[in-house]
Structure 1
């Protein structure tokens, strides 16, 4: 599932290409991917423009020139591709939005994901339960500690809880735990101030590096995209079961916590 770095990469790239271009066509190939009747959805977008793209957690918010918002959540398997009809990937698309003469934004794999049209007020209400962003300029170490100091349970469960902090999923929770030299199963109630400081530094480092590297999704977003997926080869533990840890040489282990898959290195990740 695309997480904060993947969605931030999408936001940055789309902002360079589609802002202020007229929407000239909308094709809906799966009506369940939108929240209103397909023709009404199309009519609401036709002739309009996207004037700003915002990311909140794992969501993208397309601000339209009429004040409404398109709320995107890709969920498991969702992808975006931007290009002409000639260079589109050979994938099933659920929604296609054309900007200008032939620049098409393809929404791929929206079997669980969605693109919903809302008012600004509705959007704010839907986003109100999201926790703070760890890369937000208003976030600092003391605020981070205050959030996690009062939590109980496993580190992994807390990191992927969108009401605690927004944007982290399975991949980056495991990478953050590895960078902090903590087991994903480590109990937050046992952490001291040094553990929390190390966790904050690890979270910032992993999320910043992953964002700069274009996240881990391998499908390029455009035909000439050389950035997207750059972090895929930099993952230290995620999806590396049985491979050697780069730090200690132990074998990476895959297990589960609360039904979520977990990857970690038993040789150099500890309970605290």
Structure 2
């Protein structure tokens, strides 16, 4: 899983390690993962420095000093590893970005998961994304307004990247639990008090997940002891049949808008 907390942790680690560092080489082990030719990579990427690393929704953007952007999408099962020729990940990488004696291994990438884009092309692809949950202008009233025209289930709306970006199926369940509302609740019947709880819970859950290392299952580097620290703090996700930490009832799994969801039917309500 790669949702906002996991990608924000990657953003911070990548910025710490590689901001201002020059790319000395790039190796594409599977041509389907990258949409450009080796010749263009050599011209537009090799020898260029990474100015900074940005997260937009579920994408990471490497800003290069020639104005180009490397946009990385990480599907389920994909992960990054910072190593070297003698310190490599256990699984083969589809893409390796080299920074002198260090290397960034990209594992589990699928077709076109890495793209070389201009600023205009980035906006064409990501311009319709909803605001990040941490945008300062996203007040509780504006948060509620984002969902005003939706008629489906709460979970389907929370993971809709055009409404709010960065939240996926896992953290949607955790946010709903923290706000004491069911993920299959219908949006039109939710009261303002519930929306206010959801707004607070969204910030609370995502910030806690980031601070505790997220739920990534693979370390970023050999000495990484932070990644995955939040796995032990999930309240409902993947805890079917276990006791609710709030009321003691049994957590169940249900299908919500073609997605699985984990919920306590005792203390999470439908309004």
Interval containing the TM-score (normalised by the shorter chain): over 0.9
* 1:223 is aligned to 2:222: yes
User: Could you say which residue in structure 1 is the equivalent of 2:107?
Assistant: 108
User: Could you say which residue in structure 1 is the equivalent of 2:68?
Assistant: 68
* 1:26 is aligned to 2:35: no
Task: Tell me how far apart the structure 2 counterparts of residues 113 and 27 of structure 1 sit (CA, whole Å).
Answer: 15
Task: Tell me how far apart the structure 1 counterparts of residues 134 and 233 of structure 2 sit (CA, whole Å).
Answer: 20
- The superposition leaves residues 33-71 of structure 1 with CA deviations (integer Å, 9 ceiling, x where unpaired) of 011123422442111111111100110010000000001
Given that 2:35 and 2:112 are in contact with CA atoms closer than 8 Å, whether structure 1 keeps it comes out as: no
User: Could you say which residue in structure 1 is the equivalent of 2:175?
Assistant: 176
User: Could you say which residue in structure 2 is the equivalent of 1:260?
Assistant: 259
Given that 1:93 and 1:107 are in contact with CA atoms closer than 8 Å, whether structure 2 keeps it comes out as: yes
Q: Residues 112 and 262 (structure 1 numbering): CA distance in 2 closer, same or farther, change over 3 Å?
A: farther
SS at 2:173 equivalent: helix
List aligned pairs for 1:101-250, cutoff 5 A.
102-111=101-110, 114-250=113-249
Given that 1:245 and 1:265 are in contact with CA atoms closer than 8 Å, whether structure 2 keeps it comes out as: yes
Aligned length: 271
Q: Residues 125 and 131 (structure 1 numbering): CA distance in 2 closer, same or farther, change over 3 Å?
A: same
What runs of 5+ residues in structure 2 fail to find an aligned partner? none
Given that 1:78 and 1:113 are in contact with CA atoms closer than 8 Å, whether structure 2 keeps it comes out as: no
SS at 2:94 equivalent: strand
SS at 2:216 equivalent: coil
Task: Tell me how far apart the structure 2 counterparts of residues 176 and 63 of structure 1 sit (CA, whole Å).
Answer: 31
RMSD: 1.2
* 1:269 is aligned to 2:261: no
SS at 2:197 equivalent: helix
User: Could you say which residue in structure 2 is the equivalent of 1:95?
Assistant: 95
Following superposition, the deviation at residue 16 of structure 1 comes to 0.5
Deviates further, 65-74 or 260-269: 260-269
Given that 1:31 and 1:38 are in contact with CA atoms closer than 8 Å, whether structure 2 keeps it comes out as: no
User: Could you say which residue in structure 1 is the equivalent of 2:77?
Assistant: 77
Following superposition, the deviation at residue 112 of structure 1 comes to 5.3
User: What TM-score results when the alignment is normalised by the length of structure 1?
Assistant: 0.96
User: What TM-score results when the alignment is normalised by the length of structure 2?
Assistant: 0.97
SS at 1:71 equivalent: strand
* 1:35 is aligned to 2:35: yes
Task: Tell me how far apart the structure 2 counterparts of residues 214 and 149 of structure 1 sit (CA, whole Å).
Answer: 33
- The superposition leaves residues 93-144 of structure 1 with CA deviations (integer Å, 9 ceiling, x where unpaired) of 10000112x1110000013561100001111111111001111122111111
